[in-house]
Structure 1
Amino acid sequence: MKHFNETIIQTIREQAASIETNGKLPDDVLQYIYEHRLFKLFLPEALGGRELSLPEAVEIFEEASQIDGSFGWLVTIGSGGDFFSAYLSEEVSAELFGPANAVVAGSGGITGVAKPTDGGYLVNGQWQYCSGAHHATIFTGNCRIEGNSGKKEEILSFTFLPEQVTILEDWRAFGMKGTGSHSIKVQNAFVPLNRTFDLQQAPRVSDYKIYRYPFFQFAEVSFAAVALGVAGHFLQEAFNALEENRNRRKDASPERYEFIRKKFEEAHHRFNQVRSEFYVAVNTSWNELETSGQLTETMQDLVSKSSKKVARITTGAVHEILPYLGMAAVTETSLINRLFRDLHTVCQHTVLVSYED
């Protein structure tokens, strides 16, 4: 791998089963993330971030997810939270995002209510799927503003401190179990005006181009990279199992082996093809952003379709191979089964679901 050495790959993979069982990353893995600023890929250098381009970060997301799905997802979602720093004042951004362990857990759902009060708002609400809740130092949630007399409903995003939040341990998905994507709840939490933001407004930071990338396409690209990483790991493990079975079962007919190998090669070809198309779309869109300062609707559509295609092709490739992997494929404690479950959990995210043929 380009961005991770063998030591950390082995360290994480040796703990992958316990990460799934415990529902969170262990301290040594979190420490590695802090030291290498993996939660700060999209944070300006002035705030201690790495200030990467989208193509550079996407490579890291894919590789991290190839190491372990939950690890990759948390690196991806953690870095994605850096986006919000551009919508807060310089002082508040430094306070919230400056610490070495700073990372956001939040939800896109509009499931809170905020009541205006002196200097800010009193917030009540509950939000699902807040990945990394147990190690988050910042929480975010979207709210409807109570008492808005205007015709248009007012929506704002709010930042909460850990002491204001109750974590409800309700993440019960069959995959990505190590992400700790629990619900959070706040009750009568006071949030000052300077810790609210509106993603519909222009970001305060304008010279770092990532903040001009459309947020929805940003999410699609990020999650598609996770799918590529998990699927790539699955295909490698599937090939290893194929070779191991051939060496162990000397009595199996050569025709059977060749049949399965052909299935694998076809699936791997489709994977490589969609991966190549995806990276072309990501790089082309980034070049357009650097040249013109924005993405055309045509380019946004290309990025969306390429990301969704990744989800469709990778899950299809996995399904094509799964019947030939024996009982390990359906044994919950096996690696191949965990990769299957992780991939399908990632691709179930609404931004990767296509409603077109």
Structure 2
Amino acid sequence: MADNGTGVAAVLDAVRSTVPRLRENGLEAESDRWLPEENIELLDKAGVFRMATPRRFGGLELSLEDQSTVLAEIARGCPASSWVAMVWVSSAWMVSLYPEPLQQEVFSGPSARISGGFSPTGTLTPTEGGYVLNGRWGFNSGCQGADWNMMLAFVERPDGSRDDAIALVPASEFTFADDWHASALAATGSATATAEDVFVPAHLVVIPAEAEGVDPADLPLPPAGRGYGLYSFLFSQAVATFVGIARGAHELFLERLPGRGISNTPWTEQSEHPLTQIQVASAASRIAAAEALAGTMYRLLQERADAGEEPTLRERAAVRGHSAFAAQLAKEAVEILYNASGASVIRRDVPLQRFHRDIQGLALHGWILLSANMEVYGRVLLGLDPETPLL
């Protein structure tokens, strides 16, 4: 069942105390196109990077909902820090589903920082004792501070056949291009990673096709109550950063409001204008709705995990649809607040403009794109084939 005890409480309290500092570091992070080391150290000290690590390796093994609560709190201070933390933590949860020898190596340190490239743009060629990895993966968020890179690739067999595979490789084995120049989430350092003739031991490669027909009792199991289903976990956890960005934007807007008038009008206090009151309430309501929708998803997935059951097709489709819609609500809330902030909001030293750009860019991510996710959900609701394996 969900862990709502001292584990998450301690992490949440520690993260909450860092929020002001994360905000202060925002402009530096964006200018450097990577997180300040202080941000990473603060989150590491708070226990963020141990959240998904199994307890038997010294981790906290927090529930999906508890992890997401912490990630949302980080996003109140720094959207990019939250997104990088989400990548590292969600990847650690994925590793908890893999065979024991792989887990023992990756979790030799419980604060696992694992980035990943989830487009199959690499190849694994069998060789004695393992495989040789070659390929390039873009949008590799968090790679600059990761210990490991988890890359999707194809195993190419001598007979010409190939299988999907996942390779866990030390980040030091890659070269990272200085090519992350973005108008949103600039501080995530989502550079292109390249592997050239990198040897990967066999125990660090997972080939899903090899598990087909194997007795389920012989397959590795996630920690009890933590088997959420791969795609349901990934889609729903991404919502946390959106919710946190919206919360942070709401706070930043209110902080700037006292004493602000409305230019070229008789209004000397913007807060007294009915339109501003409507805007603040409309944004707050969207944030509350996004939080409620996310909470419904987390409770459903936790109930299934506690029962050792896989969510139904309709439930998995709903998670995709509701994740995207919750993200859309959060984005709309930030848009309302940004548009109500006056011309001075475009200054780079005003954090609200960065929160606005970051959530706009994040909403274009393939995992969370509203149109694509609504289509999948709608097809299932209408009794049609979802026509995607990402469920």
TM-score by length of 2: 0.83
- In 2, distance between residues paired with 1:281 and 1:122? 40
Q: Does the Cα contact within 8 Å between 2:50 and 2:111 map onto a contact in 1?
A: no
Of 330-339 and 177-186, the range deviating more from structure 2? 330-339
Which shifted more, 325-334 or 179-188?
325-334
1:238 counterpart SS class: helix
Shift of 1:14: 2.0
- Partner amino acid, structure 1, of 2:339: P
Q: Identify if the C-alpha distance between structure 1 residues 207 and 161 changes in structure 2 by more than 3 Å, giving closer, same or farther.
A: closer
Q: Is the 8 A contact 1:112 1:126 kept in 2?
A: yes
* Cα pair 2:290 2:327 within 8 Å, conserved: no
Deviation of 1:290 after TM superposition, in Å, equals: 1.1
Matched, 1:283 2:321: no
Q: Does 2:60 match 1:50?
A: yes
176-185 or 197-206: bigger deviation? 197-206
Moved more, 97-106 or 187-196: 97-106
CA contact (8 A) 2:262 2:269 kept: no
The CA distance in 2 between the partners of 1:34 and 1:313, in whole Å, is 30
Identify which range, 304-313 or 194-203, moves more after superposition: 194-203
The structural deviation recorded for 1:158 is 1.0
Counterparts in 2 of 1:284 and 1:88: CA distance versus 1, 3 Å: closer
Does the 8 Å CA contact 1:97/1:103 hold for their aligned counterparts? no
Shift of 1:173: 2.2
CA shift for structure 1 position 183: 1.1
Contact 1:43 1:49 in 2 (8 A): yes
| Residue aligning to 2:228 | 213
**Is 1:235 equivalent to 2:244 in the alignment?**
no
Q: 1:20 to 1:208 in 2, by over 3 A?
A: farther
Q: Percent identity?
A: 18
Evaluate the alpha carbon distance shift between residue 254 and residue 126 of structure 1 in structure 2; reply closer, same or farther with a 3 A threshold.
Answer: closer
SS state at 2:96 partner: helix
Shift in alpha-carbon separation, 1:136–1:206, aligned structure 2, 3 A:
closer
The number of residues matched between the two structures is 355
Q: Deviations over 1:222-256 (max 9, x none)?
A: 11110000011112212333334149999417798
SS in 2 for 1:39: helix
Distance of aligned partners of 1:103 and 1:199 in 2 relative to their CA distance in 1, 3 Å threshold: farther
The answer on 1:13 being equivalent to 2:23 is yes
Q: Could you say which residue in structure 2 is the equivalent of 1:196?
A: 205
Give, in whole Å, the separation in 1 of the partners of 2:190 and 2:208: 22
Residues 68-147 of structure 1 mapped to structure 2, 5 A cutoff: 68-147=78-157
TM-score (norm 1): 0.90
Please list the CA deviations of residues 277-303 of structure 1 after superposition, one character each: whole Å capped at 9, or x if unmatched: 221221122113212422112221222
Q: Identify which range, 67-76 or 281-290, moves more after superposition.
A: 281-290
Structure 2 CA distance for aligned equivalents of residues 145 and 292 of structure 1: 31
How far did residue 103 of structure 1 move? 1.0
2:273 match? 257
SS in 1 for 2:302: helix
Q: Describe the SS at the equivalent of 1:341.
A: helix
Contact 2:59 2:110 in 1 (8 A): no
Q: How far apart, CA to CA, are the structure 2 residues paired with 1:223 and 1:215?
A: 13
Q: Which runs of 4+ in 1 moved over 6 A?
A: 247-250, 253-256
